[in-house]
């Protein structure tokens, strides 16, 4: 099916008589595949460069992280291909079970004996051969449920307060479970994604804006009850100040040094100094700082360009599905695109000092097997949405054979 998706037949079918006319033409599916493949290989390269010193000192093997990440990249590609062959309606039919599964994952990590604590946060489940962060698959399952709910109630959710409050309440419950871990980055991404999906469904702006004051109040309460949150919020304004340099602003200050050393074209691949016991989490949250030091502004521009192509492709696929009245597919593609956009923007913003420090990885690039597999599954869903949307232009009999 992937071969068909990337072939010329898709481009030709979109121009057949009867297809909707639109100013915003969806890019060829090869654009999202190309961006994914480039991010995968570029991520393996830069994650390896950022982790060799850590792997050598911790495990006595400079290629420890590369081997593990390469294995999960291969698994992720297989998952992407399998997901791309599953009809989208399959996920629509299972929406309630998927919601229960998402909540179960978020609860399981909080139970004694299951959750694995790292740096004061209990976000992971240690399976021995891999440490899984349940919030990664849970947020995707939650978006699938939201897409199904909005598909079934796309008219009433924009007019009825009850239909509007149901997804809002379910999102609030998920946010409360994430707060218990705590995982503030995923909390923000999931909340923003849910609200943006509501806006795209047609919920009035004033209803969404009415949530602004309670949201600000919740953030203020969080900052007051969690002193480290307030410290992070204040330290990122001046991370290199004397009182922050070796405290809450240490990571960000070291990231600024890395970007400053990189200048326009960087110091060269493998020549980062900050990754040698200066900048923590260089292969996870702050891999972008190593890219900036070794490849300079040019390397940063390449990363941002690839994510722009990826997110634009997601939104274009959503637009194409919506124009053909495949609303579940459209809402799901919007949601997946928002997840990619939110996580990439927050990670890049944190590395550049535009946002307070959050424990969020950069999709496809940061080290993490579970995250990589989930991202590949998301791409598989998007490819399937694109494929089914293009099949609308075919004859009914041919379409039934291809979608069965």
Residue 341 pLDDT: 95
pLDDT tier at 274 (50, 70, 90 boundaries)? confident
Query: Considering Cα of 274, then 372, then 186, then 225, what sign does the dihedral take?
Result: negative
Residue 6 pLDDT: 42
Could you please report the per-residue DSSP string of 324-364? TT-HHHHHHHHHHHHHHHHHHHHHHHHHHTSS-----PPTT
Contact, 197 vs 338, CB < 8 A? yes
**Whose CA is closest to 122, among 177, 173, 65?**
177
Strand order in the sheet with 121-126: 115-118, 121-126, 131-132
Mind listing the pLDDT tens digit for each residue in 114-142?
Answer: 777 766 677 778 776 677 888 899 999 99
Mind listing the pLDDT tens digit for each residue in 363-380?
Answer: 999 998 888 999 999 999
Look over the chain and give the mean of its residue pLDDT values, rounded to a whole number. 83
> Taking residues 190-197, what's their average pLDDT?
92
**Whose CA is closest to 27, among 312, 305, 381?**
312
pLDDT tier at 305 (50, 70, 90 boundaries)? very high
| Residue 231 to residue 241: CA distance in whole angstroms | 13
pTM, 2 dp: 0.86
Mind listing the pLDDT tens digit for each residue in 235-258?
Answer: 777 777 776 777 777 888 888 888
């Amino acid at each position: 099916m992937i071969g068909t998706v990337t072939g010329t037949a898709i481009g030709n079918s979109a121009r057949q008589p009867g297809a909707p006319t639109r100013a915003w033409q969806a890019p060829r599916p090869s654009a999202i595949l190309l961006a994914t493949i480039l991010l995968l290989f570029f991520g393996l390269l830069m994650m390896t460069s950022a982790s060799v010193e850590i792997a050598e000192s911790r495990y006595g093997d400079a290629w420890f992280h590369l081997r593990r990440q390469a294995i999960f990249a291969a698994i992720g590609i297989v998952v992407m291909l399998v997901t791309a062959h599953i009809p989208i309606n399959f996920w629509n039919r299972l929406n309630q079970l998927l919601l229960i599964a998402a909540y179960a994952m978020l609860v399981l990590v909080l139970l004694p004996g299951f959750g694995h604590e790292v740096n004061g946060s209990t976000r992971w489940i240690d399976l021995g051969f891999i440490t899984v962060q349940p919030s990664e698959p849970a947020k995707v399952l939650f978006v699938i449920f939201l897409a199904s709910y909005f598909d079934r109630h796309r008219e009433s959710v924009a007019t009825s307060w009850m239909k509007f409050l149901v997804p809002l309440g379910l999102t609030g419950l998920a946010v409360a479970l994430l707060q218990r871990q705590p995982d503030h980055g995923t909390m923000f991404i999931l909340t923003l994604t849910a609200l943006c999906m509501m806006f795209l469904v047609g919920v009035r702006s004033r209803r969404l804006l009415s949530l602004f004051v309670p949201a600000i109040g919740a953030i203020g309460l969080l900052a007051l009850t969690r002193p480290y949150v307030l410290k992070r919020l204040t330290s990122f304004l001046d991370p290199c100040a004397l009182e922050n340099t070796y405290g809450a602003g240490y990571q960000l200050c070291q990231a600024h040094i890395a970007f400053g050393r990189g200048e326009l074209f960087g110091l060269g691949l493998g020549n980062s100094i900050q990754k040698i016991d200066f900048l923590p989490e260089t292969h996870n949250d702050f891999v972008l700082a190593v890219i900036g030091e070794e490849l300079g502004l040019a390397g940063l521009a390449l990363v941002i360009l690839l994510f722009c192509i990826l997110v634009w492709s997601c939104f274009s696929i959503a637009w194409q599905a919506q124009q053909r009245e495949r609303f579940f597919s459209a809402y799901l593609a919007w949601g997946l695109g928002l997840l990619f956009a939110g996580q990439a923007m927050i990670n890049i913003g944190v590395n550049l000092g535009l946002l307070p420090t959050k424990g969020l990885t950069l999709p496809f690039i940061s080290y993490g097997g579970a995250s990589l597999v989930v991202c590949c599954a998301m791409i598989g869903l998007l490819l399937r949405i694109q494929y089914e949307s293009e099949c609308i232009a075919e004859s009914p009999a041919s379409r039934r054979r291809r979608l069965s």
